[in-house]
Structure 1
Amino acid sequence: MFMPGLPRYLCVLSTVLVCFTVKLAAQSNSDKNITITSQQESFHFETGNKETPVVIRQSSATTYKCNLFRTTVPVVEFYDDKSTIEDVRAYVNGSRNKAIKPVFQNYAVDGIFYSDARICGLELPLEKKGTESVVELDKTTLDPRYFTTIYLPGSYDISRHEVQLIVPRWMKLEIKEMNFAGYNIQKTVEYNGKRDEDIYTYTASDLAGRASEKMAPGPSYVYPHLLILCKYADLKSGRINYFNTTADLYAWYRSLVLQIGNDETILKAKATEITKGLNSDTAKINAIFYWVQDNIRYIAFEDGIAGFKPQKAQQVLQYKYGDCKGMANLTSGLLKSLGYDARLCWIGTDHIAYDYSTPSLSVDNHMICALNYKGKRYFLDATETYIGLDQYAQRIQGRQVLIEDGDKFILDKVPTRNPDQNSSFEKRNLRIDGTALTGKVQQQWDGESREFLLSQVHGTRKEKLQDALVQYLADGNPGYKITAVKTSDLATWDKQLDIQYELQHQESVTGFGDDLYTELDFRKELAGLVIDTSKRTQDMLFRYKHHIVSETSLELPTGYKAGSLPEDLKIERLGYSFNISYKLSNGKINYHKELTIRNPWLAKASFTQWNEDIRALENAYRQQITLTKK
């Protein structure tokens, strides 16, 4: 299964023909109605013409089998301005069905078309149990730079998948075999002396369909695939250099940057407008960064396979939307127009297993901006809408970054941050009022915790913002009545988000005889996160590191004393910790909870221990405190 550039997303299409992709979108391998009995693909490097001196001819034949009941298979193939699809043929029950014609159309994101990304789609019928249908495809990749990865598993179980690479000796490439351990994959290499070419054949048997699991690592970490590094071609007309080294990769990126054509006059005028009345450099830098975050809508144009050239900054300003490249270019351009040392950067998020030691378009899937200021380097990712300067999303922390430096380049790494960056703090001072807990609450969020909350509430219309915020704070519980809400500025995210309110938690206290019973934890974070080890096939990734602190102080009612307090909980693991404690002091019961996820990557080997710890946490949450009349 050929996926040029390892697509930067798992997409779900909604068109008249297809509701999901077969080629690119991971689907559950629990659907056993459809299997692929045979998939044969060949990729032949050939000489082309002056404009496209080297091309890769792809031919494939995929046989789908119906195992249970009649259905159709949506078949989709992506292409772009660096590839063409010459022919698609459908065979049903052994005969070609010319009435089944593929539809070619632009790929759209929220109704906005991206000219580089196009789809070819058809629906292939499987008429009854036991029948087979075949799709044959002829496709040409017009530039070896875009020929990067071939994945062996697909959306359905595959009995046999054969991939053949036919490489003339004038074409220099490296084939890296990734994640082959544990799979039945055979390799042969033959030399065709008549044509002076090597033939690499990989045959994989009994491949399970790629699983669709939430919070999972990117496919390049998990599934067996071939990473194709096209280095150079020695043709009669001379050598054509592709990506022999990282310097070659950067030089190609740099050539695209030089073609952008930013309008410096427009950028300077806009930057001056944004920073009007501001005197300090820090204030101006923050204003530029936050303006792009807040005013430019992110549209994932980089998901188009050929989308490596940033859009003109003035176009992003005009349209008020852009992809990561366009937003990085705009951020950099605005800062440079004010005299700051801002540079474009290429980076692969943690969705990708490679770094720049592998010169390939599959190495990165993102662009950001680097700012060198007073001896320190800051990385600005304007696609992270509500994150502050010098705060970094987990997806780019610790990742290698390629920074423009004229004709040269700089390799650096985005700093890592500890869980405190994403702190979430709640303090409740409560008393018992009949069957309710009442009192005052203060909550604070920072980093990605703040970003998550603001993303939720700002997703509603402005006139309903307060209602959305209250609903979020109440966690959907109608008995959690919140009033007198005071917030810090919801449009500013360079400081902690602070919210204070008055609370009446109805029907949260019960009585029996001389005793009162209540719980002091309302949110119970991580409860229910027991992993089904009989179904889960992959490691689990949290979106970011977490640091959750909750403190509740309950005033003892007059005439009551505290019964025995619940036992404390203390769990310390390498990647996480759970701590809960109760203390009685000065007529109050003080409840303290601290949950920390230090390593967001939870390996399968840790699932059993994790499940035991989550069950212990859930048990701690269920413990009630007892108040008894004196």
Structure 2
Amino acid sequence: MTARVHRDVEIGYKLFNAEAADIRHKQYSRGRYTYHEWEVTDVDPYDYYSSESYNINHFSPHVVLYVKSTNIDDQPKKYFGDIDDLFDYYKGFISDLNTSYSPELKELVEKLTDGLTREEKARAIYYWVQRNIKYVAYEQGYMGFRPSPANEVFNKRFGDCKGMSSLINGMMELAGLDASIAWVGTRRIPYTYEQLPLPQVDNHMVAARYTGENDICILDGTFDYLDYGVYPFHIQGKEVMVAKENGGYDIFKVPISPAGYSTISDSVSIRMQGDLIMGDGKVTHTGFNKMELASAMDGVKKDNYNETLTRLLNKGNNKFSVKGHQIHNLFDYDKPAEVDYQFVLHDYSRKIGDELYINLNLDKSYQDFSIDTTGIIQPVENDFYCTETSITRFEISDGYEITYVPDDAEFKTGNISASFKYIKDDGVIILKRQLTFEFFVLVGDQISNWNHLISYLNQQYRSSIALKKTDNQTSNIVKK
């Protein structure tokens, strides 16, 4: 790689992922130009990972060039070099932002926040922007950095991340609340501000509100159904540059929500009715799982809810069908979503003579999620830490006794775990399965751990309980 630079321009460069590569840099001058050459030879092959949010810059050796300063016609000008320079560059795009507000916007804010506490005002403003402003990305040229004024976004009823942040910031100011413009890079970008204090470190903008000395509330209007005060999952673990009122800035590292914040708990009770399995279920979604469920149901006509829930809650086989449902809090903020549902499952149980076999693993999630490591490798990506619990309660039919129950099993390695526990109660057998994922991306040796998990799950998914027809309805025989 060669860069030719005019003698009036000073450049800098940053090397990344170069530890295993002997990258040689050579610099020389010819006439009015300075030449920079980077050369590497005998590079060992390495695994190539490709996905939407984990790009080549995470693992591939590369060099990033930038302009440090110029001296044209004896007029020196500094550009980039440290974090202060980057903030000065960003500040130029917001220095004249939201200097005035329309009467209509002022009236809306007054109506939204009348009689509310400061925290309630912030919450009301954030939810109004979520519900009423459509997200439309726009990144051409300088408009990829310059936010649209709050008045413009309010009047058009659409905006990109910068415009929505500008509107939230403006409405907060009208309500007498402190809010700031903030820049952040999603997890697609691997750099910190210290590593790369250049515009390439960021690709997103949010609003930020100080809620304590060291605590900042991130307000991202591009996320539908995201509860107030929750850090968007795609920037968790990343750094945010927050513009302060005094003209300075803070660097804030976004916390990671624990696996217990985003949960799915699906509990069903099933019974035999002839050759059919009839069931009643209740599934509860919290955190980001609730947000995803709301997004999946958004726009679905109520007459089509059973059909959509059949697809989303699929169990057993492709002859599963939801026949009724009751939904609570799905599109409400700050509450878990709950779905009570009734279903039927055809051709699932297996009878051989007087024996009956039932696989209580109705939910076989991830069974086809093993990763092929023979070519370009798809890393395992997880949007957010989460816990999934599935409980199946099988009511033993009269005239049957239990002859076999699978052993309990547990799998745990690093940041993923799974457990299967069978419980025999009065007239019922219960299977509780729990999966916990505490990672964002798995690469390298972690892929092998993931494939071991999938193999383990599939092994457990093949396990069934066995029952035998008998005239003794009080028998409690259990064999393992």
Same fold (TM over 0.5): yes
Read off the aligned partner of 2:237 and give its amino acid letter. G
Q: Which runs of 5+ in 1 are unaligned?
A: 1-162
CA contact (8 A) 1:341 1:373 kept: no
Instruction: Report what 2:295 is aligned to.
Output: 455
Residues 322, 204 of structure 1: alpha-carbon distance in 2 compared, 3 angstrom cutoff: farther
Which moved further from structure 2: 346-355 or 465-474? 465-474
Match of 1:253 among 73, 82, 90: 90
Q: CA deviation at 1:490?
A: 2.8
User: What are the within-5 Å matches in structure 2 for residues 155-554 of structure 1?
Assistant: 163-180=1-18, 187-192=25-30, 194-195=31-32, 197-203=33-39, 213-214=50-51, 217-261=54-98, 263-265=100-102, 266-275=104-113, 279-302=116-139, 306-357=143-194, 358-373=196-211, 376-406=215-245, 407-458=247-298, 460=300, 464=304, 467-474=307-314, 479-537=319-377, 539-554=379-394
Q: Which runs of 5+ in 2 are unaligned?
A: 471-480
Q: CA deviation at 1:403?
A: 0.6
In structure 2, distance between residues paired with 1:463 and 1:515:
40
Residues 175, 538 of structure 1: alpha-carbon distance in 2 compared, 3 angstrom cutoff: farther
- Is residue 572 of structure 1 aligned with residue 412 of structure 2? yes
User: Whose RCO is larger (CA < 8 A, sep 6+)?
Assistant: 2
Read off the aligned partner of 1:359 and give its amino acid letter. P
- Is residue 585 of structure 1 aligned with residue 415 of structure 2? no
Read off the aligned partner of 2:289 and give its amino acid letter. S
Find the residue that maps to 1:301 and give its secondary structure: coil
Q: CA deviation at 1:219?
A: 2.7
Per-residue deviation, residues 73-94 of structure 1 (Å, max 9, x unmatched):
xxxxxxxxxxxxxxxxxxxxxx
In structure 1, distance between residues paired with 2:211 and 2:203:
26
CA contact (8 A) 1:260 1:309 kept: no
Read off the aligned partner of 1:201 and give its amino acid letter. E
Per-residue deviation, residues 332-379 of structure 1 (Å, max 9, x unmatched):
222221111111111111111111112201011111111223664211
In structure 2, distance between residues paired with 1:420 and 1:288:
28
Q: CA deviation at 1:545?
A: 1.8
Q: What is the TM-score when the length of structure 2 is the normalising length?
A: 0.89
In structure 2, distance between residues paired with 1:349 and 1:609:
26
Find the residue that maps to 2:339 and give its secondary structure: strand
CA contact (8 A) 1:216 1:538 kept: no
Find the residue that maps to 2:256 and give its secondary structure: coil
Q: CA deviation at 1:461?
A: 5.7
Residues 220, 213 of structure 1: alpha-carbon distance in 2 compared, 3 angstrom cutoff: closer
Find the residue that maps to 1:420 and give its secondary structure: coil
Residues 219, 303 of structure 1: alpha-carbon distance in 2 compared, 3 angstrom cutoff: farther
Instruction: Report what 1:615 is aligned to.
Output: 455
In structure 2, distance between residues paired with 1:275 and 1:475:
45
Residues 478, 525 of structure 1: alpha-carbon distance in 2 compared, 3 angstrom cutoff: closer
In structure 2, distance between residues paired with 1:503 and 1:381:
38
Instruction: Report what 1:560 is aligned to.
Output: 400
Find the residue that maps to 1:610 and give its secondary structure: helix
Which moved further from structure 2: 518-527 or 617-626? 518-527
Per-residue deviation, residues 107-154 of structure 1 (Å, max 9, x unmatched):
xxxxxxxxxxxxxxxxxxxxxxxxxxxxxxxxxxxxxxxxxxxxxxxx
- Higher share of residues assigned helix: 2
Identity of aligned residues (%): 26
Which moved further from structure 2: 209-218 or 544-553? 209-218
In structure 1, distance between residues paired with 2:192 and 2:116:
40
Find the residue that maps to 1:522 and give its secondary structure: coil
Residues 477, 571 of structure 1: alpha-carbon distance in 2 compared, 3 angstrom cutoff: closer
Measured on the aligned residues, the alpha-carbon RMSD in Å equals 2.7
> What is the number of residues matched between the two proteins?
465
In structure 2, distance between residues paired with 1:233 and 1:461:
60
In structure 2, distance between residues paired with 1:364 and 1:557:
60
In structure 1, distance between residues paired with 2:272 and 2:306:
27
Read off the aligned partner of 1:420 and give its amino acid letter. G
Which moved further from structure 2: 390-399 or 370-379? 370-379
Q: CA deviation at 1:493?
A: 3.1
Residues 618, 385 of structure 1: alpha-carbon distance in 2 compared, 3 angstrom cutoff: same
User: What are the within-5 Å matches in structure 2 for residues 55-66 of structure 1?
Assistant: none
CA contact (8 A) 2:18 2:62 kept: yes
Residues 456, 210 of structure 1: alpha-carbon distance in 2 compared, 3 angstrom cutoff: farther
Find the residue that maps to 1:198 and give its secondary structure: strand
In structure 1, distance between residues paired with 2:70 and 2:178:
37
Residues 462, 553 of structure 1: alpha-carbon distance in 2 compared, 3 angstrom cutoff: closer
CA contact (8 A) 1:215 1:540 kept: no
Find the residue that maps to 1:256 and give its secondary structure: coil
Per-residue deviation, residues 526-545 of structure 1 (Å, max 9, x unmatched):
21111111124464322222
Find the residue that maps to 1:327 and give its secondary structure: helix
Per-residue deviation, residues 53-108 of structure 1 (Å, max 9, x unmatched):
xxxxxxxxxxxxxxxxxxxxxxxxxxxxxxxxxxxxxxxxxxxxxxxxxxxxxxxx
- Higher share of residues assigned strand: 1
Read off the aligned partner of 1:440 and give its amino acid letter. D
Instruction: Report what 1:112 is aligned to.
Output: none
Instruction: Report what 1:624 is aligned to.
Output: 464
